[in-house]
Structure 1
């Protein structure tokens, strides 16, 4: 077996593991349903900082973090991305707690297509006619859902918009995935630490849900939020270096597919005709988009090797 083939297979395992992590995330946050969504996100941010710093230390990459934070332009970009990721996490956890996993999964199906549209609008990236058709089909799917599920459509659109905007900022900012996440959570560390102190001291558990120290299992899950944040990101970042972008792009749809199945099969969320029509149109759109991206990339590689 060639080293290149072995590396690709390792990358595939790493990417699949990361996507399964992300796909099963609703199960994890359902276990924290007795804790307020804002408090869950606060713990996720606060406990991620020391873990990420240890990871950077082990990888001897703390200098990259210091360099990034010393750059005023990069700091502003990280502040914007930190705000977007915090909003995305909060909406997602709240949606899971409120039994809207299907709406959340739809948001992450829409996000790649919205990212492409943002690339066209803000970065001048060209879109083929087939990709425009894919986006139009996805728009039709969202419109169908709007007719019957307008009360939860905002969740999908807010998650898609915040995640796509986050991706746009991170694409523009010249910073690695782990260093970037450390910078983002570091900027959020103090305000969210103060929030946790206030919630724990000033707000009674009966009114706001459980807090750290009320239940040892809940404590472990709250602290463990840092691990389920960092591990899949590390795996996926490593996989990106070993796999083609086409393969990575297709795997991006695995996590929301798992979330969809979790919502329907485990938590028995209602699957209405408009949900079915919307998801079918979104999947058709993604299939068209992914096929076009794969064929375009293949043609470009053939030209380069000719």
Structure 2
């Protein structure tokens, strides 16, 4: 029992660290404001491939990568998720650089609720009454925000939608998180290498953006994007194996909460009345959803025994 408790505590620490890294990412990408968002994403993908391959090598899981590439039922869905994660990363980086951190954080607050809704539609997973109430409250919050901040609402919905669909496809695809991300970034490697080659050697017109090789600090940050991508993923994947699903579900709200606080307190983004009402309703819906997941699951276990 002590061993299980110790393992669970380690898993919790790993999950918290992963979520904290995701939560402070706006600061990281703010440091790359001088680089165009598409170029930031390109470097994040390009340098992730060798880093992920090294990780798989030391984890002795290159065989899993070979299996993934050999199976058409895995390759096809991962091509779709590669496109979804590219859209998600690009919108996220652009939003951070354009001072829309609140909109980005709202997207990741909505995402878990949207994932539940998508699962009910495509996977035929039944929602409880409380879960439907939670989804309804979230929808009201988004509707209120749409009346005042409709100009940036698309950012939140695009991030929630792309991440929700990404999670849905990955859920039904039999592949591990690191192997899956390696395949996804490998799909994107050649197009983004060509893109980087074109902006480096193929354009002669002067630009206002910074590129790899122009500044040492920027170079380190662009290369470090691969570490920033892989590290929280590995920590979270390890934590999932050690923790209860309900606890894991609660930790996923840490990252957008940190992003929200960073946007308001550090970068002084304007917090309107509709923002406040919307976030209160979203947090209320998440509280209902989380309570239902924890206590509802416990009730089902009790009834089963």
- Shorter chain as denominator, the TM-score bin is over 0.9
Output aligned runs, 1:1-306, within 5 Å: 2-203=2-203, 206-207=206-207, 209-303=209-303, 306=305
Cα 1:209–1:301 shift into 2, 3 Å: same
Cα 1:256–1:206 shift into 2, 3 Å: farther
Structure 2 alignment gaps of length 5 or more: none
Instruction: Say how many residue pairs are matched.
Output: 305
Find the aligned partners of 2:61 and 2:112 in 1 and give their Cα distance: 30
* SS in structure 2 of the partner of residue 271 of structure 1: coil
* SS in structure 1 of the partner of residue 34 of structure 2: coil
Find the aligned partners of 1:205 and 1:25 in 2 and give their Cα distance: 32
* TM superposition shift of 1:203: 3.5
* TM superposition shift of 1:302: 3.0
1:188-245 CA distances to partner (integer Å, 9 max, x unpaired)? 1110111111111234684251000000110000000000000000000000000100
Find the aligned partners of 1:119 and 1:129 in 2 and give their Cα distance: 15
**RMSD after superposition:** 1.1
Find the aligned partners of 1:198 and 1:84 in 2 and give their Cα distance: 24
Find the aligned partners of 2:23 and 2:202 in 1 and give their Cα distance: 35
Find the aligned partners of 1:286 and 1:32 in 2 and give their Cα distance: 32
Find the aligned partners of 2:262 and 2:288 in 1 and give their Cα distance: 25
Counterpart contact for 1:36–1:208, Cα < 8 Å: no
Find the aligned partners of 1:258 and 1:31 in 2 and give their Cα distance: 17
Find the aligned partners of 2:18 and 2:189 in 1 and give their Cα distance: 25
* TM superposition shift of 1:14: 0.3
TM-score by length of 2: 0.98
TM-score by length of 1: 0.98
Structure 1 alignment gaps of length 5 or more: none
Find the aligned partners of 1:279 and 1:126 in 2 and give their Cα distance: 26
Cα 1:29–1:206 shift into 2, 3 Å: farther
